[in-house]
Amino acid sequence: MAADCKSAAPCELRRFESSPVHQLSDLNVWCWMNRLLVAFGVYAVLAALAWTTLSDPKFKYATVAILAMFAVRTWTWSRRQEREHRDE
């Protein structure tokens, strides 16, 4: 006798807020802090490359300003994650 789909138990994925997957552990905090430092390093390297290779000052300053905007955005995101972790 062949098994049909209706007789099989449904597979449900349940999410619980108290699940360890949804909480930042100390290891996860170090992990995203390391990623933050890597991101700032990448922004610094890109800014240095833009500063040394671009000859037109208008493009040079615009590129560095855009990279600074991304760095500020990354920093504000990390502060928000830190605040959320403290509130839990």
- Give the pLDDT confidence of 42-68 residue by residue, as tens digits: 999 999 999 999 999 999 999 999 999
pLDDT of residue 44: 96
Residue 43 counted as domain residue: yes
Residue 33 counted as domain residue: no
Residue 50 counted as domain residue: yes
Check: pTM over 0.85? Answer yes or no.
Answer: no
Residue 5 counted as domain residue: no
Domain range holding 88?
A: 39-88
Instruction: Work out how many domains the chain is built from and give that number.
Output: 1
3-state secondary structure labels for all residues of the chain:
CCCCHHHCCCCCCCCCCCCHHHCCCHHHHHHHHHHHHHHHHHHHHHHHHHHHHCCCHHHHHHHHHHHHHHHHHHHHHHHHHHHHHHHC
Q: Is the pLDDT of residue 23 over 60?
A: no
- pLDDT confidence of 20, banded at 50, 70, 90? low
Residue 60 counted as domain residue: yes
Residue 83 counted as domain residue: yes
Q: Is the pLDDT of residue 87 over 60?
A: yes
Residue 58 counted as domain residue: yes
User: What mean pLDDT do residues 31-37 have?
Assistant: 81
Average pLDDT taken over every residue of the chain: 79
Residue 23 counted as domain residue: no
